[in-house]
Amino acid sequence: MNERKSEKVPLGKRIAFAFGEVGDNTALQTFSFLIFTFYFAIVGLPVLWITVGFILWSLWNSINDPLIGYLSDRTKTRWGRRIPWMLGATIPLALIMILLFTPPLALNSDIINFVYFFIILILFDTTYTAFNLNYNAIFSEMYVSMEARSSTGKVRISFVMVALIFAFLLPTFIIEDFLGGDPQTPATISKALGEYQLTGIIAAVVIIVSYFIILKWGVKEPKHISKDAETAMSFGKTLKTTFKNKSFLWFLIPALGTWIAINILPTLAPLFMIHVLNITDSELIGYVLALQFIVAAVSTPLWEKIRVKKGARMAGLIGIVTWIIPIILFAFADSVEIVFIIQIFNGIGLGGGLYFYDQCIAEIIDEDEIKHGTRRSGIYYAVLNFFIRLSAIINFILIGIVFSTTDWQNYTPNPGIDAKLGLKILIGVYPAIVLGLSLIGMYFYPIKGDILKENRRKLTELHGEKQKGRE
């Protein structure tokens, strides 16, 4: 397909755009890494209460995410559809990162702490979605050619890994004991609480700085696409057409599986490494997690070459297969040295998982625009955001079931053998099974070969017509 050379993106602009990933992933992964351990071990909420909180949170997501996506697609301002949402979410999200770790512990009430926990989940999700959804939507709108998407995508993934390394390592340098000491005392809990709060403050600063960079130098909405707000569908028709898209429905299976596997490791890492691997050094825990994402970043050129030669679908299939075996081996490793070796292979698989995810959803949105004439990135990323949250809900429901059946409903520093086996299954066997099921969805994902080539041709023609009609 002939694509305009003018769509080549300067490196400076790609870097500025990728800074959004720093704040975005600092927020999400700090949340994923610390929220369960903090409220289970430090606040002392029973695991079933935490599970109920996340289930209620999922109900909110089923309304909040599609609604924000729909409203974003219909937003009409002089700055376009996406930028006002991104700007409006920046300061609130930063503040909520601090509030995540500021529960009313002094009141000494599980009910009050649970209510606070639930409210903070709602506020975090709303502000995070408002930025993340529109940041991802504007990516597929600013960068239409495969060359532009690929070159910008590489920089984005590199910045994702920087953010993830930061999100995993920073807490280990600040929080001396993730579990509040053994034995726990009011003094050790108070110390841990202050360390968690300092982590939240630093994360807030990172979010503000990185979001300022992207909003100042990294984003500019194409006028011919932002005007699609004028032809947006009704809410009901938007949802109906989205869930009738067969390419999207097949993609949701590996997308859900990918995020289940991504989220389960940081969620359980402190508990698993301390109680199963007997790693008491919090910094070492951070290094184990960070290594996987460092390797994922380094492996990005490999996955790009596979996509160029074989397409995003094949990159996804190979990535998932590469990921399954080391995930199982990680759970049953018996030494720190073995864990570090396994994390290298884990990182290669993770790199493939993240790479195909971005490329496939852009292809799906392209196909939808060709069919309906209007680019509806917002609603697609909204549904994806819901499935990302759904992955967390599924994880927490299983965590709640396993912890309850192994007599670990409330945190105690010395779990039994059954609880340790449960941790191994949750962190290794379970995500491997889910990734195996993801292979089915990825195999039947239909945008490939001649279909992909034809979509690219039609999209170029459509955008040419839009530019002419709206100049």
CATH of the domain at 140: 1.20.1250.20
Whether 266 maps to a domain, the answer reads: yes
Residue 305 CB burial class (10 angstroms; 0-12, 13-18, ≥19): exposed
∠ Cα 29 33 34 (to 5°):
120
Residues in the chain predicted with pLDDT less than 50, given as ranges, are 1-6
Residue 403: per-residue pLDDT? 92
Average pLDDT of the residues of the chain: 88
Whether 3 maps to a domain, the answer reads: no
Residue 227: per-residue pLDDT? 66
Whether 5 maps to a domain, the answer reads: no
Residue 426: per-residue pLDDT? 95
Measured between alpha carbons, how far is 262 from 391 in angstroms, rounded to an integer?
9
Amino acid at 174: I
Residue 280: per-residue pLDDT? 81
Which residues neighbour 277 within 8 Å (Cβ) at sequence distance 6 or greater?
Answer: 333, 335, 336, 339
Whether 284 maps to a domain, the answer reads: yes
Residue 471: per-residue pLDDT? 55
∠ Cα 333 338 341 (to 5°):
125
Quote the tokens at residue 201: 């403050």
Whether 215 maps to a domain, the answer reads: yes
Measured between alpha carbons, how far is 256 from 368 in angstroms, rounded to an integer?
21
The answer to whether the pTM exceeds 0.85 is no
Expressed as residue numbers, the domain containing 52 is 11-469
Q: Where are the alpha helices (DSSP H) in 143-245?
A: 146-174, 186-213, 223-226, 235-242
The total of other beta-carbon atoms located within 10 Å of residue 416's CB is: 12
Measured between alpha carbons, how far is 133 from 82 in angstroms, rounded to an integer?
9
Measured between alpha carbons, how far is 72 from 79 in angstroms, rounded to an integer?
12
pLDDT in tens, 448-458: 989 999 998 99
Residue 159: per-residue pLDDT? 87
Q: What share of the chain is helix, strand, coil (3-state, %, to 5)?
A: 80, 0, 20
Cβ pair 146, 447 in contact under 8 A: no
The total of other beta-carbon atoms located within 10 Å of residue 455's CB is: 20
Residue 2: per-residue pLDDT? 42
The total of other beta-carbon atoms located within 10 Å of residue 258's CB is: 28
Residue 3: per-residue pLDDT? 44
pLDDT in tens, 239-270: 888 889 999 999 999 999 999 998 898 889 88
Q: What total of structural domains would you count in the chain?
A: 1
Which residues neighbour 49 within 8 Å (Cβ) at sequence distance 6 or greater?
Answer: 110, 114, 117
Residue 226: per-residue pLDDT? 62
Whether 1 maps to a domain, the answer reads: no
Whether 177 maps to a domain, the answer reads: yes
Whether 6 maps to a domain, the answer reads: no
pLDDT in tens, 348-403: 998 888 788 878 998 999 999 999 888 888 888 888 888 887 888 899 889 999 99
